[in-house]
Structure 1
Amino acid sequence: MSLADVVRRSSIEIIPLKGAEGKLAGVPTRTSVSITCSPRFGLSRTLDHVEAASRSGLHVVPHLAARMVEGRQHLRDFVHRLNDLGVDELFVIGGDGEEPLGSFYEAADILRELKEFDHTLSRIGIGCYPEGHPKISEGALRDALQHKQQYADYMVSQLCFDASVLAGWLRAVRDSGILLPLRVGVAAPLQLRKLIELSLKIGVGQSVRYLSKQNGLIGNLVLGRSYEPMDLLLALQDEVSFGELSIEGLHLFSFNQVEATLDWLSSVSGGQKAG
C-alpha cells in the first residue's frame, strides 16, 4: 500500500450548513463524501444533504450520532431511508449532545441495535481517538474500541497533526488486538488561522499545540498561508508501514472548503510514491 493509494482512497467530510449542497455540485461522480450530524441541525438535515449528494452520483457516508436518535423506530426509519436512497455505508458515533434524545447513549448501543433488523448497509465505520477524549479515559476508550470492532468494518481517527502520536497509538491498538482498518483523519488545506481556531473548538488542543511549535508557523499565519496535509502524511510514512498497520485511506476534514480539498487531491493523488 503506497501513500498514493492511501490518498486516492480519501473521503471528504461535509458539514450540512447552508450552501453545502451547492458546493457538492462540482464534486466528481463516485467521490466518497461523509455528511456529518449535530444536535444543532438534527438528523433530518443530514438526510436532506445525503439525498442531494446521492442524486449527484456521489458515494455517501452519513454520520449517525447515537444521542440524536429518539428510539428504535426512529433508528429504523433513518436507516430504511438510507436504503431507499441506495446508501450502503454508515458512520456511527456517540455524539456531542449532553443528554440523549432517547435510549441510545453511545455508538455501541446503535451498533448492537443494527443487528436486530434487516437493512442493506454493507459497511459501518466508527470513530477512534489517538489523542484521547476530554471526557473519557484512555482505558475506557480502548475497551470500547475492542467491543465495537465486532460490529464495525473500519475506524476513522480524530483530527491529528502529530504523526508520532498517531503512529504510536496505532501500534499500541494493533498490539492490543484491535485490527479494524484505519482511515486517517486529516485536515484538508485550510488557512492556518482558521484551522487552528476550528481545531481548538473540536477538542484536539494537544495536536494544535504540536502544530504551533513548527518552524515558520507565525510567519505563515501572518502571510495567510494554508495548512499542507502532505507534510503529516510524509512524516507518517516515515513512521509506519501503511499496509502492515492496515491504513486504508484518508478522511479529509474539509470544513466545507470543498474546492480547495478537491484541488489538493487532484494535485497529489497520482504524484506520491511510498519510499
Structure 2
Amino acid sequence: MPFQDELTAVEQLIAAANIEVIPLRGADEKTAEVPGSTTVTITCSPKFGLDRTLDHVIKARESGHRVVPHLAARMVADETDLQRFLTALSAVGVDDLYVVGGDGEEPVGKYSEAFDVLEAMQSLDHSITRIGVGCYPEGHPHISDAALADALLRKQRYADYMVSQLCFDAAAFTRWLRATRGAGILLPVRIGVAAPLQTRKLVELSLKIGVGSSVKFLTKQHGFVGNLLLGRSYAPESLIAEIAAQPDFAELGIEGLHMFSFNQVDATVDWQRRNAASPA
C-alpha cells in the first residue's frame, strides 16, 4: 500500500478500515447505515451460534455491503456443519472469511482451533478466495507466546492476511510485528483498533475481551484520568499516527484497520468520515 507521507498513511488506513459488528438485536439497522464503501465484519460467538452470524451476513449483503463473516472453529460441529456454513456464504456472494479458534471453553465438535477448519476447507466446495486469521501482539491470556507463533506459522499456509487483537500500545504492536516478520510470518496485517468510545466504556469492554495489558498501557497515558472524569471519548487516530510514523512502516506489511466498534456503529462511521482521506 503506497503512501505519500505519514498523514496520508493515516487517512488512507482509516478510509479502508473494516468495521466489526456483533450480531445483537438492532445490529442490522446499524449496519444498513454504514457507507457501502466500508466493509462490515460480523462476529461469531458461542452465545449466538453460527446461524445468528449467517442471518446478519445475509441482511448485510442485502443492504449492499461487502461482508467478512467470522467463523469460530470451536462452534463447528463437523464437516457437514462447516459445508453448510460455507454454502450459505456462497449463496450470497461472500468471498472473504475470517477464521478464529473461538471463545467457547469446549469445542462442540472435532475442530478446536482455526487451523483445523482451514485444513478441512481444502476439500470442501466454497466461494472463499480470501481468508483472514487472528494474531495477538500482546499475547493471549490462556495460550503461550510460543504456541501462538507456531499456530500462526501453520495457518500462514492457508491464509491471506491476519487481524490483530485489540491494541492500544503502538510500540508493543510494532515490536511484535517486527519479531513476527523475522520469524518468517509474512501475512499482511490489519491492526485491531478500538472505536472512539467513551473512555470508561472502552476500558470496561476491553477487559471483558481479554486485553488487560493493553488497557493498563492506555490508563497510564497523559490525560487519561481527565478523559475518564469528563466522559471524553478515546481517539484512535493517535495510535494509528504513531504506527504510521515508524521509519520502517512501509516494510511492515500493514494492510489496513479492523475497527472494534462494540456496536457503536454510528460513532465509528462518523469518526471514519471525519478522519479518512477523501476519495481520489
Out of 238-247 and 196-205, give the one that drifted further.
238-247
Shift of 1:242: 3.5
The count of residues paired between Structure 1 and Structure 2 equals 271
Is residue 103 from structure 1 mapped to residue 110 from structure 2 by the alignment?
Answer: yes
1:244 aligns with 2:257: no
How far apart, in 2, do the equivalents of 1:28 and 1:170 lie?
A: 31
Q: Aligned partners of 1:23, 1:160: CA distance in 2, in Å?
A: 24
Q: 1:52 aligns with which of 47, 51, 59?
A: 59
Map of 1:167-246 to 2, 5 A cutoff?
A: 167-246=174-253
Question: Take 1:240 and 1:49, find their aligned partners in 2: how far apart are those partners?
Answer: 41
- The alpha-carbon distance between structure 1 residues 182 and 240, as it changes in their structure 2 partners (threshold 3 A), is farther
Contact 2:23 2:43 in 1 (8 A): yes
Structure 1 runs (4+) greater than 6 angstroms displaced: none
Aligned partner of 1:68 among 63, 67, 75:
75
Residue 264, structure 1, aligned to residue 268, structure 2: no
Counterpart Cα distance in 2 of 1:246 and 1:102: 35
Following the alignment from structure 1 to structure 2, what is the Cα–Cα distance between the partners of residues 109 and 225? 43
Q: Which runs of 5+ in 2 are unaligned?
A: 4-8
Correspondence 1:151-166 to 2 at 5 A: 151-166=158-173
8 Å Cα contact 2:71-2:99 kept in structure 1? yes
The correspondence of residues 2-81 of structure 1 with structure 2, limited to 5 A, is: 2=3, 3=9, 4-81=11-88
Question: After superposition, what is the alpha-carbon deviation per residue over 1:220-258, rounded to whole angstroms, capped at 9, x for unaligned?
Answer: 111100000011011112235443111010000000111
Kindly provide the amino acid, as one letter, of the partner of residue 153 in structure 1.
Answer: D
User: How many angstroms apart in 2 are the aligned matches of 1:240 and 1:175?
Assistant: 17
Distance in 1 separating the partners of 2:195 and 2:77: 33
* Structure 1 residue matching 2:272: 3-state secondary structure: helix
Q: Deviations over 1:93-114 (max 9, x none)?
A: 0001011111010000000001
- Counterpart residue number, 2:95: 88
Residues 164 and 239, structure 1, Cα contact 8 Å, conserved in 2: no
**Alignment correspondent of 1:136:** 143
CA separation in 2, counterparts of 1:52 and 1:139?
A: 39
Cα deviation digits, residues 149-192 of structure 1 (max 9, x gap) = 01000000000000000000000000111000000000011000
TM-score by length of 1: 0.96
Contact 1:66 1:110 in 2 (8 A): yes
* In structure 1, C-alpha distance between the alignment counterparts of 2:218 and 2:137, rounded to whole Å: 16
Q: What is the Cα-based RMSD across aligned positions, in Å?
A: 1.0
TM-score w.r.t. the length of structure 2 is 0.95
In the alignment, is the contact (CA less than 8 A) between 1:30 and 1:57 conserved in 2?
no
Please name the residue that 1:254 is paired with: 261
Secondary structure of the equivalent of 1:34? strand
Query: Structure 2 counterpart of 1:201, which letter?
Result: K
Helix, strand or coil: the match of 1:196?
helix
Shift of 1:5: 2.3
Distance 1:41 1:149 in 2: 28
Q: 1:91: Cα distance to partner?
A: 0.3
- Asked if residue 149 in structure 1 is aligned to residue 123 in structure 2, the reply is no
Q: Is contact 1:155-1:182 (8 Å) kept?
A: yes
**How far, CA to CA, are the matches of 1:136 and 1:159 in structure 2?**
16
